[in-house]
Chains A and B, each alone.
Chain A
Amino acid sequence: MNLLDIRNLSIELVNGDKNILAVDKVSLSMKEGEVRGLVGESGSGKSLLAQAIVGVLDDKWHVHADRFHWRGIDLLRLSIAERKALLSRDIAMIFQEPMACLDPTTTIGEQLSEAIDSKSLTGFFWQKQQQQRHSAATKLLHKVGIKNHSVCLKSYPHQLTEALCQRVMIAIALARRPILLIADEPTATMESTNQNQIFRLLSSLNQLKNMSILLISHDLENITHWTKTITVMYSGQFVEAGTTEQIFNKPLHPYTRALVDSNPSANFHLPAKSRLMTLPGSIPILQHLPIGCRLGPRCPRAQQACVKSPTVTNFHGHKVSCHFPLTPMKVSHKVTKRVS
Chain B
Amino acid sequence: MAEATANGLGQHTLHGAQAHDAAATGIAPAEVHQEHPIRLYLVVWVWLFILSACSYLVDYVGLQGYLRWSLILIFMMLKAGLIVAVFMHMAWERLALTYAIILPPILVLVFVAMMVFESDYTLLTRTLFFGAEP
| Mutual binders A and B | no
